[in-house]
Structure formats: structure tokens, C-alpha cells
């Protein structure tokens, strides 16, 4: 299970991406995250990575290397 969350959307991927769920999400940057289940479950590993803002300036876009396919 892979879960991606930011302040606007929640995306969940199961079965190596064969099943996907996207839902609107309205939280702040200091929100807590919990894993809750109604069945017995053993979590082997949880990894959290902070995401940088997707918003960039027009100058940053102009500085990017051009890639033409």
C-alpha cells in the first residue's frame, strides 16, 4: 500500500498500482497521520517523506534544461 497525501489530495495505491483511490483532502501542513483498521493487521514498515511545494516561479521554469521528444 502506498499513500500520498498533501494539503489538497489523498492518493492510495494497492496491489502495485492496480487499484487506486484519489480523494480530496483539506488539511494543514501540521496535520497528524494515523493508520486505522477494523481487521487484524501487522504493519512491517512505515516511511514518511516530506514533499516540497510543486509551485515554482516562471524564472525557475525558464532555467530548466529543455527536453524534446
What are the boundaries of each domain within the chain? Answer: 2-37+51-63
**pLDDT level of residue 26 (50, 70, 90 thresholds):** confident
For residue 18, the model assigns a pLDDT of: 92
As a whole number of angstroms, the distance between CA 5 and CA 12 comes to 9
Q: What is the pTM of this model?
A: 0.54
As a whole number of angstroms, the distance between CA 56 and CA 16 comes to 30
Residues in the chain: 69
Region 22-42: mean pLDDT is 81
Region 23-31: mean pLDDT is 77
**pLDDT level of residue 29 (50, 70, 90 thresholds):** low
Question: Which of 19, 20, 23, 21 minimizes the C-alpha distance to 9?
Answer: 23
Between 24 and 5, where is the model more confident? 24
DSSP-derived letter for residue 30 is: T
Q: H or E element: which one contains 23?
A: strand 19-24
Amino acid at each position: 500500500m502506498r499513500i500520498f497525501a498533501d494539503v489538497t489530495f489523498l492518493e492510495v495505491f494497492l496491489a502495485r498500482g492496480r487499484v487506486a483511490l484519489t480523494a480530496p483532502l483539506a488539511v494543514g501542513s501540521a496535520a497528524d497521520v494515523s493508520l486505522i483498521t477494523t481487521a487484524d493487521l501487522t504493519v512491517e514498515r512505515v516511511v514518511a517523506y516530506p514533499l516540497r511545494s510543486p509551485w515554482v516561479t516562471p524564472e525557475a521554469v525558464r532555467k530548466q534544461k529543455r527536453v524534446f521528444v
